[in-house]
Amino acid sequence: MAGVTSTLVKESAEELTQRIKESTSAREKDKLQVLYWLKQEKAPAIKVIAKSLGHHRNTVQSWLCKYREEGLEGMLERKKSKGRVRVIPEWAEKALEKRLK
């Protein structure tokens, strides 16, 4: 069947349901929901799942790729951003701070 992934979901439907209820992040809930739907006997196509969650199918596919490679915890892990690069150099900030005292 076209559009259906060959990802084998290891977690039970009950476990996924429980994790969805406990989750506080909308993105995490969406990722768990994808796995829950794929766990069903008649899993909808990825395109259908993605559209119903409001994400692009490539996004859902990348989540599933991460799940296959790193498991559930790897898929749910959030990337930490280093943040924006400082505009004012540290030496200039210290000089300004010293001057303002």
pLDDT tens for 31-76 read: 999 999 998 888 889 999 999 999 999 999 999 999 999 999 999 9
**Position 42: which residue type?**
K
The tokens describing 70, both together, are 């790193």
The confidence band for 1, taking pLDDT boundaries of 50, 70 and 90, is very low
In the predicted model, is pLDDT for residue 5 greater than 80?
Answer: no
List, in order, residues 6 or more apart from 69 with CB less than 8 Å away. none
State the pLDDT at residue 27: 94
Q: Which range among 70-74, 78-82, 86-90 shows the weakest confidence by mean pLDDT?
A: 78-82
Model pTM score: 0.73
Rounded Cα distance between 36 and 72, Å, is 12
Residue ranges making up the domain that contains 32? 13-76
Any domain includes 66: yes
Report yes or no on 60 lying in a domain. Answer: yes
Domain count, the chain: 1
Spatial separation of the C-alpha atoms in residues 1 and 42, rounded to whole Å: 11
